[in-house]
Structure 1
Amino acid sequence: MIDEVMFMRHGRTSFNLERRLQGQIDIPLDIVGQWQVDMSGYTLAQRFYWAKASNIARHPDRLPQPTDPDVRRSDIEEYRKSPAARRRIVVVSSDLFRAQQTAHAFADPLGLDVTLDERLRERDFGKWEGMTREEIQSKYPEGYRSWKAHDGGEREYGVETRSDLGARGAQTILSYCNDPQYMDEPTTLFVVSHGSWIAATIGNLMGLPDNKLDNLTGMRNAFWSRLEPRYNANGTQFTLTEYDKGPDIADTVDWENGPDYLRNPDMPMWKPLN
């Protein structure tokens, strides 16, 4: 059964840098975003290296072998008999390209497949997609005020409410947790999605009311969180064991803007909201 759920947010995009609501607009990673997901992907690939051995045990054809018949072949039984073979990892990603790029930064070094799931898409921001908060406030002042006050006024503009988003995400995660195909052995579900989606989904699974979701700070690009599901007669309960965690390098380099060798003179600097 699924006993671990990892959530990873996609890396930086040009819309992130410009503080625009991306929603379901299909924006790729920028150069810093690719660096972010590679740094996090390498770190998590070390943490989940067992998944490579497990995958090879299930798919022996993925183990490179010498072509010379006189050279001894690698022993697949070493993989099949390893403790790693008794556990599985499943990588699922939003079908938006920035999430796909992020998922492959983790999955490819381990030789893992990535399954796309449109249910993992970011919050639908309706008419507001592609706009900055300043532009929304200027053009739709009453809608903006209601949105920030959590009064639901954003619905008028086709924006998916945070409550509906959290319900969509939670239903998706529970559908994986309750899927019979994952009941036969311990499984890690590795989910690559978007900042608003992840926060709202975790909040819903943890049973937080909508007015308490602000207690979950927004996740940084290419950072991860972890939930442990527990199954009983009353359903599935979740324990939050990690939230908004990143690789060690994020403590030594300007994570949001990337290392100096990636920034060209024309690139604006990302700055936090006041």
Structure 2
Amino acid sequence: MIDEVMFMRHGRTAFNLQRRLQGQIDIPLDIVGQWQVDMSGFTLAQRFYWAKVSNIARHPDRLSQPSDPPIRRSDITEYEQAPASRRRMVVVSSDLFRAQQTAHAFADPLGLDVTLDSRLRERDFGQWEGMSREEINERYPEGYASWKAHEGGEAAYGVESRPDLGKRGSSTIRSYCDDPQYMDEPTTLFVVSHGSWIAATIGNLMGLPDSQLDNLTGMRNAFWSRMEPQYTSNSVLFHLTEYDKGPDVADAVDWENGPAYLRNPDMPMWKPLI
């Protein structure tokens, strides 16, 4: 059964840098975003290295072997008999390209497949997608004020509500936990999605009231969170064990803007909202 769920947010994009609402617009990572997901992917690949062993045990053909017959071949039974082989890793990703890039930064070093799931897409921001907050405030001042006050006025512009987003995400995670194909052995579900989707989903899985979903802080680009499902006779309870965590390098450099060797003189700097 799925006894661990990891959530990872995609890396930075040009829209993130410009402070535009991406929603379900398909935007790729920028150079800093690719660096972010590589740094987090490398860190998590070390943490979950057991998944590579488990994957090889299931798919022996994925283990590189010498082509010269006289050379001794690697012993696949070492992988099959390793304790790691008794656990499974499943990687699922939003089908938006920025999430796919992020998922592969983690999955590829471990030789894992990535399954795309449109239910993991970011919140639908309706008419506001692609716009900055300043542009929204200028064109739709009443709706913007209602949105900032958490009063729900954004719905008039086709924006998916936070409660609906949380329910969409929660039902998706629960569908994986209820899937019979994952009941036969301990499984880690690695979910790559988007900031609003992850925060709302975690809030819903924790049982937070709809009025408190907006109080759960958003996640930084390419950071992760972890939950542990606990199964009862008729339900699944979720316990949050990590939230908005990143690699050690995030404390050593300017994470949102990346190291200096990536930034050309004309590149604007990401700045936090005030």
TM above 0.5, one fold?
A: yes
Mapping 1:140-159, distance limit 5 Å? 140-159=140-159
- Counterpart CA distance in 2 for 1:182 and 1:145 is 45
Cα distance in 1 between the residues matched to 2:80 and 2:19: 48
Match of 2:39 in 1: 39
Residue 58 (1) aligns with residue 70 (2): no
Instruction: Give the drift of 1:215.
Output: 3.2
Q: Deviations over 1:186-219 (max 9, x none)?
A: 0000000000000000000000112222332110
Counterpart in the other structure of 1:17: 17
Distance in 2 between residues matched to 1:215 and 1:240, nearest whole Å: 15
**Stretches of 4+ aligned residues off by more than 3 angstroms:** none
Return the alpha-carbon distance in structure 2 between the equivalents of residues 233 and 204 of structure 1: 20
- Calculate the TM-score normalised by the size of structure 2: 0.99
**Could you give the per-residue CA deviations for residues 149-194 of structure 1, whole angstroms, max 9, x where no partner exists?**
2222111111000010000000000000000000000000000000
Amino acid at match of 2:148: K
Mapped to 1, the partners of 2:13 and 2:209 lie a distance apart of: 30
Q: Which moved more, 1:206-215 or 1:155-164?
A: 206-215
- Deviation string, structure 1 residues 80-99 (Cα, Å, up to 9, x no partner): 00000000000000000000
**Mean alpha-carbon deviation: is it higher for 70-79 or for 135-144?**
135-144
How far apart in 1 are the matches of 2:272 and 2:210? Answer: 24
Residue type at the aligned position of 1:111: G
| 2:115 equivalent to 1:115 | yes
The residue number in structure 2 matching 1:85 is: 85
Kept in 1: contact 2:162–2:214 (CA 8 A): no
% identical aligned pairs:
84
The answer to whether the Cα contact below 8 Å between 2:57 and 2:76 also exists between their aligned partners in 1 is yes
| 1:29 Cα deviation after fit | 0.1
Offset of 1:234 from its aligned partner? 4.0
Q: What is the root-mean-square deviation of aligned Cα atoms in Å?
A: 0.6
Distance, in Å, in 1 between the alignment partners of 2:103 and 2:211 is 31
**1:100 pairs with 2:87:** no
Distance (Å, rounded) in 1 between the aligned partners of 2:37 and 2:210: 30
Give the counterpart letter for 2:212 in structure 1: K
1:244 paired with 2:244, answer yes
Matching residue of 1:267: 267
The runs of 5 or more residues in structure 2 that have no matched partner are none
What CA distance in whole angstroms lies between the structure 2 residues aligned with 1:41 and 1:215? Answer: 28
Counterpart-to-counterpart distance in 2, 1:214 and 1:50? 36
- In 2, distance between residues paired with 1:52 and 1:61? 13
- The residue type equivalent to 1:161 in the other structure is S
Paired residue secondary structure (1:188): strand
With 150-159 and 218-227 compared, the bigger mean Cα shift is at 150-159
- 2:150, 2:214 within 8 Å by CA — same for their partners in 1? no
Which deviations, in whole Å up to 9, do the C-alpha atoms of 1:214-265 show, x marking residues without a partner?
A: 3321100000000000010241101000000000000000000000000001
| Whole-angstrom distance in 1 between the partners of 2:235 and 2:146 | 35
Q: Secondary structure at the match of 1:257?
A: coil
Aligned residues between the structures: 274
Distance 2:65 2:264 in 1: 43
CA distance in 2, matches of 1:2, 1:9: 20
